[in-house]
Structure 1
Amino acid sequence: MSAELMRLSARAVRGLLARREITPADLVEAAIDRIQTVDGAVNAVPTRCFDRARAQAAQPGLANSMLGGIPFVVKDNAEIGGVRWTGGTPIFADRVSTQSDRTIALIERNGGIPLGKANLSELGGANTTNAVLGTTRNPWNTALTCGGSSGGSAVALATGQVWLAHGNDVGGSLRIPASFCGVTGLRPTPGRVPRRSILNPFDTIFVDGPMARDIGDLALFFDAMIGFDSADPLSASSPDGPFLPMALKPDRPLRAAWSADLGCLPVADEVRALGDAFVAALQEDGTAIDKACPDFTGALPALLTLRGVNYVTSWEPFLDRHRHQFTPEVMGDIEHGLRQTPSSIGAAERYRAEMYRRVIAFLGDYEVLITPAAPILPFAVETMWPQQIAGMQQNTYIDWIAITAITSLLACPVLAVPVGFSCDGLPFGVQIIGRPRSEARLFQIAAAIERLCGLPPTIIEPNSCKKSAMPSSN
Structure 2
Amino acid sequence: MPARPAFSGPELCALTACDAVDLLKAREVQPSDLVEASLARISQTSPAINAMVTQCAARAQSATKAATPNQDLAGLPIGIKDLSPVSGVRTTFGTKALAEFVPETSEPLVTRLETRGAIVIGKTNTPEMGAGANTFNAVFGKTRNPWDTRLNAGGSSGGAAAGLATGEVWLSQGSDLGGSLRTPASFCGIVGLRPSPGIAGGGPALQGFDFLPVNGPMARTVEDCALMLDAMAGYDPIWPISYPAPVNSYLRTCRTESGPIRIAYAPDLGGLAPVTPRMSQVLNTALARIASKDLDVIEAAPQTETVEQCFRTLRAFGFWTNARNTPERITQHYKPTLQQNISEGRALLMDDVAEAMTQRSAIYQSMLLFLKDYDVLACPVTGIEPLPVEIEYPTDVNGEPCKDYLDWLRFAMLATVCGLPALSLPVGFTDTGVPVGLQLIGRPRGEGRLLQVARVMEKALNLGSAPIDPVIRH
Pair 1:345-2:346 in alignment: no
Give the Cα separation in 2 of the matches to 1:170 and 1:241: 27
Counterpart residue type for residue 333 of structure 1: N
The Cα shift of 1:67 comes to 0.7
Give the Cα separation in 2 of the matches to 1:301 and 1:361: 21
The Cα shift of 1:322 comes to 4.3
Counterpart residue type for residue 314 of structure 2: L
- Structure 2 counterpart of 1:164: 171
CA contact (8 A) 2:415 2:421 kept: no
Pair 1:31-2:43 in alignment: no
1:463 to 1:252, Cα distance in 2 relative to 1, 3 A = farther
- Structure 1 counterpart of 2:214: 207
- Structure 2 counterpart of 1:175: 182
Among candidates 65, 70, 80, match of residue 64 of structure 1: 70
Deviations 1:176-195 (Å, cap 9, x if unpaired)? 10010000011111111111
- Structure 2 counterpart of 1:431: 439
1:70 to 1:302, Cα distance in 2 relative to 1, 3 A = same
Give the Cα separation in 2 of the matches to 1:147 and 1:262: 21
Among candidates 93, 114, 125, match of residue 132 of structure 2: 125
Give the Cα separation in 2 of the matches to 1:185 and 1:416: 5
- Structure 2 counterpart of 1:12: 19
1:319 to 1:300, Cα distance in 2 relative to 1, 3 A = farther
Among candidates 248, 252, 263, match of residue 270 of structure 2: 263
1:323 to 1:111, Cα distance in 2 relative to 1, 3 A = closer
Question: Equivalent residues in 2 for 1:320-331 (5 A)?
Answer: 320-331=328-339
Counterpart residue type for residue 96 of structure 1: V
Give the Cα separation in 1 of the matches to 2:43 and 2:233: 31
Deviations 1:327-377 (Å, cap 9, x if unpaired)? 111111111111111111111111111111101100112221011111111
Unaligned runs of 5+ in 2: 1-7
1:279 to 1:153, Cα distance in 2 relative to 1, 3 A = same
CA contact (8 A) 1:214 1:457 kept: yes
Counterpart residue type for residue 266 of structure 1: P
Give the Cα separation in 2 of the matches to 1:260 and 1:304: 22
Range with greater deviation from structure 2 (128-137 or 286-295) = 286-295
Give the alignment's TM-score, normalised by structure 1.
0.95
Range with greater deviation from structure 2 (387-396 or 285-294) = 285-294
Give the Cα separation in 1 of the matches to 2:439 and 2:219: 15
Among candidates 236, 240, 243, match of residue 236 of structure 1: 243
Give the Cα separation in 2 of the matches to 1:211 and 1:323: 29
Counterpart residue type for residue 175 of structure 2: N
Among candidates 102, 107, 111, match of residue 113 of structure 2: 107
CA contact (8 A) 2:56 2:122 kept: yes
Deviations 1:221-244 (Å, cap 9, x if unpaired)? 111110111110100212343111
1:303 to 1:285, Cα distance in 2 relative to 1, 3 A = same
Q: CA RMSD in A?
A: 1.6
Give the alignment's TM-score, normalised by structure 2.
0.95
Among candidates 346, 365, 368, match of residue 357 of structure 1: 365
Range with greater deviation from structure 2 (442-451 or 246-255) = 246-255
- Structure 2 counterpart of 1:251: 258
Among candidates 448, 451, 455, match of residue 463 of structure 2: 455
- Structure 2 counterpart of 1:154: 161
Give the Cα separation in 2 of the matches to 1:342 and 1:268: 37
Give the Cα separation in 1 of the matches to 2:336 and 2:40: 38
- Structure 1 counterpart of 2:3: none
- Structure 1 counterpart of 2:406: 398
The Cα shift of 1:213 comes to 0.5
Give the Cα separation in 2 of the matches to 1:153 and 1:448: 25
The Cα shift of 1:82 comes to 0.4
User: What secondary structure, in the 3-state scheme, does the structure 1 residue paired with 2:413 have?
Assistant: helix
Counterpart residue type for residue 405 of structure 1: M
CA contact (8 A) 1:252 1:445 kept: no
CA contact (8 A) 1:2 1:29 kept: no
Give the Cα separation in 2 of the matches to 1:285 and 1:115: 44
Give the Cα separation in 1 of the matches to 2:257 and 2:284: 22
User: What secondary structure, in the 3-state scheme, does the structure 1 residue paired with 2:354 have?
Assistant: helix
Give the Cα separation in 2 of the matches to 1:198 and 1:142: 37
Unaligned runs of 5+ in 1: 466-474
Give the Cα separation in 1 of the matches to 2:248 and 2:155: 29
Counterpart residue type for residue 106 of structure 1: R
The Cα shift of 1:260 comes to 1.8
- Structure 1 counterpart of 2:307: 299
User: What secondary structure, in the 3-state scheme, does the structure 2 residue paired with 1:406 have?
Assistant: helix
CA contact (8 A) 2:9 2:167 kept: no
User: What secondary structure, in the 3-state scheme, does the structure 1 residue paired with 2:174 have?
Assistant: strand
- Structure 1 counterpart of 2:380: 372
Among candidates 290, 300, 306, match of residue 298 of structure 2: 290
Deviations 1:413-469 (Å, cap 9, x if unpaired)? 11111011111111011111011111111111000000011112121111258xxxx
- Structure 1 counterpart of 2:81: 75
Deviations 1:92-112 (Å, cap 9, x if unpaired)? 212111122110110100000
